[in-house]
Amino acid sequence: MNLEYTDEQLAFRQEVRAFLEAELPESLSAKVKSGKTLNKSDIEQWHAILNKQGWLAGNWPKAYGGAGWNAVQRHLFEEEMTGASAPRILPFGLAMLGPVLQEFGSAEQQEYYLPKVLNGEHWWCQGYSEPGAGSDLASLKTRAEREGDHYIVNGQKTWTTLGQHANMIFCLVRTAKEGKPQEGISFLLIDMNSEGVSVRPIVLIDGEPEVNEVFFDNVKVPVANRVGEENKGWTYAKYLLTHERTNIAGVGFAVAGLESLKRIARTEQSKGRPLIENPYFAAQIARIEIDLMAMSTTNLRVISKAAAGQAPGAESSMLKVKGSEIRQAINALTRSAIGSYAMPFVSEELEPGSNALPVVPDYAASVTGAYFNNRKLSIYGGSNEIQRSIISKALLEL
């Protein structure tokens, strides 16, 4: 048992840190630090900087233009990224689709799509969920009917994160009605500029249009855009989901969130003293910190297993449940920390730095929105209830 990183790993951390110090634009880190929504060009700018360094796709093999890092390196990279308030890398093309294409895509698909993920030409979004198919994903209804060398796609996807910025969507579609629902699903890559695709934004409770509905009305999709075999899409979908759930613990986000909570609690006053000195409040911070200290080690235990070649299975479900609960607890306590300044609805024009008079202290501006928005952590990517079912089946054999 040894809790220390090796010299080699520490050198890697140093390299990442130096890169971030030199290359992360202050305009981006300032936005991330204050919890502001990044716009499309912010994200594209950051992806391009990382791509130039060869670090955009840490999880991809070098042969495909990735960094070829192992799980520990990826973890160190994530930790440095959140520590430096770098924008997070969007997962859809890089962490989700990329691995599926590498494992199941044809050589042509790999050659055509993977470089475009890296250079930003393709912005991908994930078309899994439908209004009637959430937790029960296999009940999805969007149809793809074969007509010669095309599929004709009809149906609706929903909760499509950042679909408003995307030009490509990977979708699960139904290609057979017979048999078990899992057996008639195919995995299609669809150009969102195709005729018959429309996107409608959905505003979430924090006031941001983060997700969308995507409608398909007789959309013609070449058969060549199918990944793998017809009706075998469920296998690829599940493979993708295990990748979606890597780094699911979000330790870096939790560490950054806890630090920000403590900063706020040092500034806010309670009875003429810094709030952080109030024992009732300090005890609540401590409870979270104790949990987080243990979880980051649980996370490392899973990571080192993965680095040794054992794919994480239901362990990633444990990390998701605990990790999302810790982050949500931090969000809730940060909301408490800012007292009545949690009440104002701070839209862009009321934010510090705009021309309007400042309403709330700058550290308070995004706190309430983040609290409401992060309720999603326990819903998406397979809800925490679904994760618990996986844990009890796979690890407890109940």
Partner 1 sequence: MNFDLTDERQMLQDSLRKYLADHYSNEVIRALAKSDCGYSKENWAGLAELGVVGALFSEEDGGYGGAGFDMALVFEELGRVGATDPLVDTAVLCGGILAALGHGEQKNLVESIIEGSLQMALAHAEPQSRYELSRVDTRVEREGEDFVLNGQKCVVVNASAADYLIVSARSEGAVAATAGISLFLVPTDTAGLTLNDYPLSAGGRAAEVQLDNVRLGAASLLGKQGDAFDTLELVHARATVAVCAEALGLMETIRALTTDYLKVRKQFGRPIGKFQVLQHRMADILIEIEQARSAVINLAGHVDGERDAREKHVSATKNLIGLVGKLVAEESIQMHGGIGMTEEYELGHLAKRLIMVDHRLGDATFHLERFVELAVA
Ligand X SMILES: Cc1cc2nc3c(=O)[nH]c(=O)nc-3n(C[C@H](O)[C@H](O)[C@H](O)COP(=O)(O)OP(=O)(O)OC[C@H]3O[C@@H](n4cnc5c(N)ncnc54)[C@H](O)[C@@H]3O)c2cc1C
Burial class (CB in 10 A: 0-12, 13-18, 19+), 233: buried
Look at residue 126 and give the partner it binds from partner 1, ligand X, none, a contact being a CB closer than 5 to 8 Å depending on partner kind: ligand X
Q: Is 241 in the site for partner 1 (CB under 8 A)?
A: no
> 10 Å Cβ neighbour count for 327?
23
The interface with partner 1 within residues 95-134 (CB under 8 A) comprises 129, 132, 134
Listed ranges 2-10, 299-307, 352-360, 382-390: which one lies at the site for ligand X (CB under 6 A): 382-390
Residue linked to tokens 């979000």:
250
Asked if residues 190 and 152 have their Cβ atoms less than 8 Å apart, the reply is no
Q: Are 32 and 86 in contact (CB under 8 A)?
A: yes
Residue 160 contacts which entry, partner 1, ligand X, none (Cβ below 5-8 A, type-dependent): ligand X
Q: Do residues 195 and 216 lie in contact, with contact meaning Cβ atoms separated by under 8 Å?
A: no
**Which residue, 105 or 382, has its beta carbon nearer to ligand X?**
382
Q: How far is the CB of 124 from partner 1 (least distance, A)?
A: 20
Of the listed pieces 38-46, 113-121, 145-153, 262-270, which binds partner 1 according to CB under 8 A? Answer: 262-270
Stretch that binds partner 1, among 22-30, 49-57, 105-113, 280-288 (CB under 8 A): 280-288
Q: Under the criterion CB under 6 A, does residue 126 sit at the interface with ligand X?
A: yes
Q: How far apart are CA 3 and CA 1, in angstroms?
A: 7
- 25: closest CA among 85, 104, 114? 85
In the list 82, 142, 156, 160, the residue contacting ligand X (rule: CB under 6 A) is 160
Tokens at 388, concatenated? 């618990």
Q: Any contact of residue 246 with ligand X (CB under 6 A)?
A: no
CA distance 393 to 314: 9
Question: For residue 133, which amino acid is it?
Answer: A
Helix (H, G, I), strand (E, B) or coil at 53: helix
Q: Which does 359 bind (CB under 5 to 8 A by kind): partner 1, ligand X, none?
A: partner 1
Q: Which does 284 bind (CB under 5 to 8 A by kind): ligand X, partner 1, none?
A: partner 1
Helix (H) or strand (E) holding 154: strand 150-157
* Candidates 25-33, 78-86, 113-121, 363-371; binding stretch for partner 1 (CB under 8 A): 363-371
- DSSP label at 93? I
Residue 380 is a binding residue for ligand X (CB under 6 A): yes
If binding is defined by CB under 8 A, does position 269 make contact with partner 1?
A: yes
Distance CA 88, CA 50 (A): 11
Q: What are phi and psi of 118, to 5 degrees?
A: -70, -45
Is 166 or 329 the residue whose CB approaches ligand X more closely?
Answer: 166
Residue 128 binding partner per list partner 1, ligand X, none, with a CB distance cut-off of 5 to 8 Å that depends on partner kind = ligand X
128 touches ligand X by CB under 6 A:
yes
Cα dist. 172→169, 239, 297, 372 in Å? 10, 13, 35, 29
Q: Position of tokens 């959309």? A: 219
Q: Using CA atoms of 163, 169, 172, 177 in order, give the dihedral in degrees to the nearest 10.
A: 100
Residue 45's binding partner out of ligand X, partner 1, none, with CB under 5 to 8 Å set by partner kind: none
Binding segment for ligand X (CB under 6 A), chosen from 16-24, 34-42, 101-109, 126-134, is 126-134
Give me the residues that bind partner 1 (CB under 8 A), please: 129, 132, 134-136, 139, 158-159, 202-205, 207, 211, 268-272, 275, 278, 280-281, 284, 328, 332, 335-336, 339-347, 350, 357, 359, 361, 368-369, 371-372, 375-376, 378-380, 383-385, 388
Give me the residues that bind ligand X (CB under 6 A), please: 125-129, 134-135, 159-161, 210-211, 376, 379-380, 383, 385-386, 389
